[in-house]
Each structure stands twice: as structure tokens, then as C-alpha cells.
Amino acid sequence: MTKTNQQKVKDFLINNGVIIVMFILVIYTGFTSDNFFTKNNFMNILMNMSSRLVIALGIAGCVITAGCDLSAGRMIGFGACISGMLLQRMDYSGKFFPDMQPLNVFVVALIAMLVCAAFGTVTGFFIAYLNVPPFIATLAMMEIVYGIGLIVTNATPLGGYVEQYTNVSNGKFLGINYLIWIAIIVAAITWFIFNMTRHGKYMYAIGGNPQAAEVAGVPVKATLILIYMKAAAMYGLAGFMLGAKAGGASVQTGYGYEMEAIAACTIGGVSVTGGRGKVSSAIIGVAVFELLKVALQYLGMNANAQYIAIGVVIFIAISLDIRKYIARK
């Protein structure tokens, strides 16, 4: 093997080290633990991945433009609360709107998406037109959404959902859970947007070099607003999904999910430096995270210590991404 090939192999092993280690861990767990390689466990993993993939696909667009979205977790919680308030049973003692009949689940999902999209539009406006750094703009929106959620719900957990809503989590089509189908549809639509539309091309151009993109005629400001609006709509949908799965919600639903989503995107290949990333990157990253959690649970690791393992993975993933960026330069 020549030195060039050796270097290529070395770079591949280093750049994909997290994924390789996770693969080895999963194989080891499967052969040392009962019921790991089973259909039920596999479907449970896909169920847990579904809402997190929707979140990651939303954040991926922000990261590709060298931005981020720290408001995602709070918007997920707000979307879950909106869905819960509109889908409680009439006979539930803690019903938020006692005299209002529950709405159709599809209508409620759309409402949650539209409300969150409105917040995302405001965030995108501040980033695009006032040049507020994405970190600061989304941090501010995170606090605003959280405060509004606390006021609207009076910090009260929601429950007592209609069967039509909980069936979104329990029901199946062709043997596959509805939540998984939602994630598949969102992934397919996102792939089409990223690869087959002008908006997708503009997004990558902005991530590569925003100044050059603007000179080339790319509507940078409008594209950024659309990216953050679209991402926020996905957070609202994810909140709707999480509420159905849990059978309840509060403003704390989805707390901290944004960090994991950003890390998942980075592990899969979405560069935090901008301009690079695919839908498959988000899928791979989310799968790695979910498999890591499940494997550690099967191996008997302390639940609290799992946060340490996830933190280490995030450190390594971001470091490797920066390494690849420096190598390209």
C-alpha cells in the first residue's frame, strides 16, 4: 500500500471514527445481550428516531448555511402544548378549553407547524436583515417561546388526549407505525427541496460563501428567512409527534433536543462550517445517537452516565468536523 493510500485509509478511519466505534458497540451489544437483534427492538429504535429525525432535518438547513438554531427544543415543547390543548377529550377534568370540541389531528398538526413557523420567520428576519448572529437570534427566540409557553399553559402539564391523537403513535400502516411514516415523508420532501429546487441550491451557495452567493444573484435574505421558517415548522411537527407518543406534554417537552440534533447532523456529515450536508447525513447521525443510547441501556450503563457518553461523542464529532474543514482549506 502506497503512502497516499495509507493516508486515505487513515483519514477515513479518523473522520468516520465515531460511526465505526458505534457500529462495533452495536455488534458487541447484539451478541452479548438478549433481545437486542429483534424486530420489536428495531421498531422501537425507529419510533424513537422518527421525531428526532424531523428535528435534525430542520436544523440541517440552518447548519448548512453555517448557522444553528438553539430555539428548536423550546419550539418543540410549544408545538406539543398547542397540539395537546386542541386535542383533549371533552370529559377530561383538566381540559384547557372546556367548551371547545377537539379538532381534527391533521388540522392541529398544521396549526402547530404554522405557529412555530411564524416564530421561525421572525428569527430568520433578524438574522437576514439585521445581521444578528444565528446563535444570538435563536437564543433570544428560545427564551421568548419558552416564556410564551409558560404564560399560555400556566406551566401546567397537558393530558387527557382523544384517541384519534394517541393513535398517531399507536396506529400502523403496512405494519409500520404512523410516526415512522411521517418521518419518511418529511425526509423525502426535504431531500427533494435540498437536491431538486433552487432553494436547495441557494442554501448550499450561502453556506459556501454568502458574499459570493449574493454577488451571483442569490436572494440570500429571503432564503435565510425561508430556511428558519421551514425549520421551525418541522419543530412544531416534531412536538405534535412527541405529544402523541407520550400521551401528554408540557413546555419542557423537547428540552435540549436541539443540541443532540446539531450533533447528529455533524456526525452524519453536515458541516458546522457550512456548505456541506445531505438528508442521509441527518439520518445516519440520528441513527448513531439512538443506537448509542439503546446499546448503553442494554449494557447496563447508569442512565445519568449516558449523558457523559453523549457529551463526549458531541465533542469528538465537532472536533472531527473542524479537522475536515481545516484539511479542505
Could you tell me how far CA 218 lies from the centroid of its own chain?
Answer: 27
- Higher-pLDDT residue of 92, 123: 123
Write out pLDDT tens, residues 247-283.
Answer: 888 889 988 888 888 888 888 778 777 778 888 888 9
Checking if the pLDDT of 172 tops 70, the result is: yes
**Cell numbers that stand for 82 in this block:** 398547542
Q: What is the largest CA-CA distance in the chain?
A: 76
Cα–Cα dist 55/70, whole Å: 12
Checking if the pLDDT of 183 tops 80, the result is: yes
Write out pLDDT tens, residues 304-313.
Answer: 777 787 777 7
Over range 149-172, report the average pLDDT: 88
22-50 as b/e, with b when 16 or more CB fall inside 10 Å?
A: beebbeebbeebeebeeeeeeeeebbbbb
Sole residue written with cell 456526525: 267
Residue 172, beta-bridge partner list: 177
Cα–Cα dist 199/215, whole Å: 16
Provide CB contacts within 8 A for 21, sequence distance 6+. none
Over range 93-102, report the average pLDDT: 83
Q: Is 177 helix (H, G, I), strand (E, B) or coil?
A: strand
Phi-psi sector, 295: left (phi>0), alpha (psi -120 to 50), beta: alpha
Cα–Cα dist 232/59, whole Å: 9
Tell me what percent of the residues of the chain surpass a pLDDT of 70. Answer: 92
Write out pLDDT tens, residues 26-38.
Answer: 888 888 877 778 8
Residue 173: in which H helix or E strand, if any?
strand 172-173
Checking if the pLDDT of 323 tops 70, the result is: no
Checking if the pLDDT of 8 tops 70, the result is: no
> Distances in Å between the alpha carbon of 133 and those of 60, 73, 217, 225, 275?
17, 19, 22, 13, 17
Cα–Cα dist 85/234, whole Å: 19
Write out pLDDT tens, residues 56-72.
Answer: 999 999 999 988 889 99
Over range 169-176, report the average pLDDT: 85
> Distances in Å between the alpha carbon of 272 and those of 15, 209, 269?
14, 13, 9
Checking if the pLDDT of 92 tops 70, the result is: yes
Rounded mean pLDDT of the chain?
86
183-222 as b/e, with b when 16 or more CB fall inside 10 Å?
A: beebbeebbebbeeeebbebbbbbbbebeebeeeebbbee
Write out pLDDT tens, residues 274-315.
Answer: 778 888 888 988 888 888 888 888 887 777 777 787 777 777
